[in-house]
Structure 1
Amino acid sequence: MMSFEKLKRPTTIKEMHQCSWKWITKESWLKGMSFQLKPTDVVVSPYPKCGTTWVQQIVHGLRTRGSMAFDEIIEVSPWLEIAFDVGINLDKPQPALPRLFKSHMFWEQIPKGGKYIYVIRDPKDTLVSKYHFEEGWWFEKGSISIEEYAKDSFIPDNAYWLHLLSWWQQLHNPNVLILCFEDLKKDLSKYIPLIAHFINCELDQELQDIVLRQSSFEFMKKHEHKFDEHITRGKREKVMGLPSNADVSKIRKGDVGDAYLELPDSVHELLDKIWNQVVRQKTQFKTFQEMRTALSEVNYSSYPLGQSQPYPQRQGKGELGDPPMRTPKNMRFPVIE
C-alpha cells in the first residue's frame, strides 16, 4: 500500500482532473441525490467558492444561538454528495432545527422538498478564490498558472455559468433564497434578518450580534480548523493520491474585485465572452453587476432589508401558519470567543 509520504500532488491540469474525479464516488453522489429532505430542512447550495461555508456558519449560528461545539462544520451541516464517502449519516440528529446541509448540486440534481439558499458571486472573483483554494492541495504550488487554470479547468465546461442559470430560474420559488456574495460582504447585518425569516427562525438583537460576530472574517480565521475540510480530506486524500500535508484554507478575505488585480486581460476577455454567450442569452443581463442589482431589488421587495419582522408574501409551501422556530435565550451551547 502506498504511503502518504510517497504521494505527490499533480503538476498539470490533466493530472489534477484525474485526481479530482476521485473526490466523490458515484455511489455517494447518488445517495446524496436521493436523500429525503423534510420541508423545514435548509440546504446551502452555491457553486464552490461562492460563500457556502460562510452561509453555513450564519445559519448554524441562527439555529443554535452561536454554538461552536463541533470539530469541523461538516459534522453539524453534512455535505449531501460526500457524506457516504466520509461515513456521515445524513439522517443523524443535528444540534438544533432546522436541519442544515451543504451541497454544490445543480437545481435539477438536488433532492427536492426542503429550503435552499443559493449565493451568486462575480465569476471572476470565484475563479480567483477557487484557484487559491486548490493550489497547494489539488495541485502543486506554482505548477499551474492562474491563466492556465482558468483556460483549461474553470472555463471549458461552463460549469459556473450553467450552475448559476440552473438556480437563477428558481428566483421566484418561495422555497429558494438567492443572495449575492458581494452584498453580504458590503453589509451582512441587512441580510441576517432575511435569512432568519427564510429559515423560520425568530431573531432578536442579541442573536443577531452573535451571528454577526461569529461569521466575521476575523472570527472564522481565528477558528479556521473548524472550516478547513480536515475530516473530509482525512477520508479522501489518500484515495485521490494526494499527500496529507496540504495547507488548505477556506477562509480567505474574499475581497470584492480580487480578480481585477490577478487575472490577465486575456482571461477577463474570455470570461466576459462566456457571460454574453451563456448568461446574457438566457437572462438579458449584460453583466454580473446588472444581475446583482436585479437580485437586490427582488430581495428588497420581498423583505425590506435590515428589518427583522417577517413578510408573509415570501413564505414557501408547507410553512404557512407555522410559528417561527424559536432559539431560546437560555439555549447555551458552548460559544467560543
Structure 2
Amino acid sequence: MTDPLVGKLPGRARSLEEYAAMMGSAHSGEHPNHRPYEPQDGDVFITSWAKSGTTFLQQMFHQLRTAHRGGDMDFDDISRMTPWDDVALMVDFDMTAPQVASPRGFKSHREYERLPTGMRYAVTLRDPKETFISFYRFINGWHLEPGSVELEEFLPFWMGGGPGGCDYFTHLLSWYDRRKEPDSLVMTYRWAVKNRSAAIARMAALIGVEMTPEIEALVLERTTREFMHDHKDKFDDAMVCKVLDEKCGIPATSDSSKVQSEGSDAKEVPQSVADAIDAMWAERVVPVTGHADFAALAETVDAEA
C-alpha cells in the first residue's frame, strides 16, 4: 500500500526552524536561466529595509521612468521590472536581462556597504516597531501557518530583514549617514507617503526624469495606497509564490500582497518586544545619532527633505 504522505510537500512552516528548511527547499534544484547582477553605470537601487516602503518606491521609480509613454502597469510582478538579486537564484531569474526602460532599477534590502559603489540609491526609513508588525502581517499566513509563530517569538525573524538584508539597525545607520550624499535619496516612509509630490520630484531628480504636470499627475495617481491595493496582484511576489508553490507546497493563491489595505500600528507590538527594540536602539543608534527614538531621528530626516 502506498503511503499517501510520501512525496507530499510540507506546506507552510509552523516554526522558524521549519521556515529555514522550507527556504532551503525553495532554493534547491537546477537554475538554468539564472545570471547574477552585473553593475552598469547609472543603475538605481531601491533599497529600503524590509516592510519600509520598498514596493512603494519600486512603483514610483518604474512609473517615472516609463511616464513618457503613459506609464507601465503591464507586468505580473514589480520585482520583474526592478529585479531582486537576493532571490534571483531561487526564482531562476536572469539579472542581466534587458529592462523595459532606463535607467535600470534593482531592489534590495541591503545597507550601502554591501551594494556596488558609484550607483544611485533610493531609501525610505520607517519606525522599527511599525516594520515589525507589517513584517509579521506579511509572513503570517503566507510563509508561516497562521498563528503558528506568536508575535513574541517573531523578533529573531524580524531582525533578519528579509532575503539578502541585514539587521534593522545596521541598515538604518548606514543610510542615515548617507542622507546628504548626492547619489542617495533618503526619506522617511511616512514623510514620503504624506508628501508624495515632493517625494516624486526628488526621485525624478535622482534618476534624471524631467518632471511635467502630466508626469506628476500620472505618478501621483499610481502611487496611492488605493491604486496599488486595486492592483495588488502586481505587488504580491508572484515569482516567489510560483517557486514556493512548486517546491514547498505553499499555494500560489496565498495572500502575499505587499500592499495592505491599512497601515501597520506600532502599538500592536507586545511590550516585551517593544522593550527589546528600545534597548537595541539605545545601544546602537543613540551613541551614533544622538536621537532617543525614531520620531526624533525622523524629525531630522524630514526637516532636511
Q: Which TM bucket (shorter chain)?
A: 0.7 to 0.9
Query: What are structure 2's unaligned runs of at least 5 residues?
Result: none
Judging changes above 3 Å, is the alpha-carbon distance between structure 1 residues 156 and 219 closer, same or farther for their aligned structure 2 residues?
closer
Matched ranges for 1:285-296 at <5 A? 285-296=291-302
Shift of 1:8: 2.5
Judging changes above 3 Å, is the alpha-carbon distance between structure 1 residues 155 and 197 closer, same or farther for their aligned structure 2 residues?
closer
Shift of 1:232: 2.2
Q: 2:158 aligns with which of 147, 154, 176?
A: 154
Whichever residue aligns with residue 108 of structure 1, its letter is E
Which position in structure 2 is the counterpart of 1:136? 141
CA distance in 2, matches of 1:98, 1:156: 29
Whichever residue aligns with residue 219 of structure 2, its letter is V
RMSD: 2.6
CA distance in 2, matches of 1:89, 1:63: 21
Report the secondary structure of 1:81's partner residue.
helix
Q: 2:237 aligns with which of 229, 234, 238?
A: 229
Whichever residue aligns with residue 107 of structure 1, its letter is Y
Report the secondary structure of 1:108's partner residue.
helix
Which position in structure 1 is the counterpart of 2:282? 276
Shift of 1:84: 3.5
Q: Does 1:216 align with 2:219?
A: no
Which position in structure 1 is the counterpart of 2:64? 62
Q: 1:170 aligns with which of 178, 182, 185?
A: 178
CA distance in 1, matches of 2:211, 2:6: 50
Query: What are structure 1's unaligned runs of at least 5 residues?
Result: 300-337
Whichever residue aligns with residue 202 of structure 1, its letter is E
Would you say the 8 A contact 2:38–2:95 is kept in 1?
no
Shift of 1:249: 1.5
Which position in structure 2 is the counterpart of 1:255? 263
Shift of 1:18: 3.3
CA distance in 1, matches of 2:296, 2:223: 27
Would you say the 8 A contact 2:228–2:259 is kept in 1?
yes
Shift of 1:4: 8.8
Would you say the 8 A contact 1:39–1:115 is kept in 2?
no
Whichever residue aligns with residue 280 of structure 2, its letter is I
Whichever residue aligns with residue 214 of structure 2, its letter is E
CA distance in 2, matches of 1:21, 1:168: 33
Which position in structure 2 is the counterpart of 1:88? 93
Q: TM-score, normalised by structure 1?
A: 0.78
Higher relative contact order (Cα pairs below 8 Å, separated by 6+ residues): 1
Whichever residue aligns with residue 47 of structure 1, its letter is W
Judging changes above 3 Å, is the alpha-carbon distance between structure 1 residues 4 and 245 closer, same or farther for their aligned structure 2 residues?
farther
Report the secondary structure of 1:165's partner residue.
helix
Which position in structure 2 is the counterpart of 1:121? 126
Q: Does 1:106 align with 2:114?
A: no
CA distance in 2, matches of 1:3, 1:89: 34
Whichever residue aligns with residue 278 of structure 2, its letter is D
Q: TM-score, normalised by structure 2?
A: 0.86
Q: Deviations over 1:92-150 (max 9, x none)?
A: 22221111111122222212231011110000000000001001111100111212213
Would you say the 8 A contact 1:31–1:81 is kept in 2?
no
Which position in structure 2 is the counterpart of 1:315? none
After the TM superposition, which of the residue ranges 263-272 and 197-206 deviates more from structure 2? 263-272
CA distance in 1, matches of 2:174, 2:128: 15
Report the secondary structure of 1:178's partner residue.
strand
Report the secondary structure of 2:285's partner residue.
helix
Judging changes above 3 Å, is the alpha-carbon distance between structure 1 residues 201 and 7 closer, same or farther for their aligned structure 2 residues?
same
Shift of 1:42: 1.0
Whichever residue aligns with residue 122 of structure 2, its letter is I
Would you say the 8 A contact 2:142–2:254 is kept in 1?
yes
Would you say the 8 A contact 1:39–1:114 is kept in 2?
yes
Whichever residue aligns with residue 154 of structure 1, its letter is W
**Aligned residues between the structures:** 291
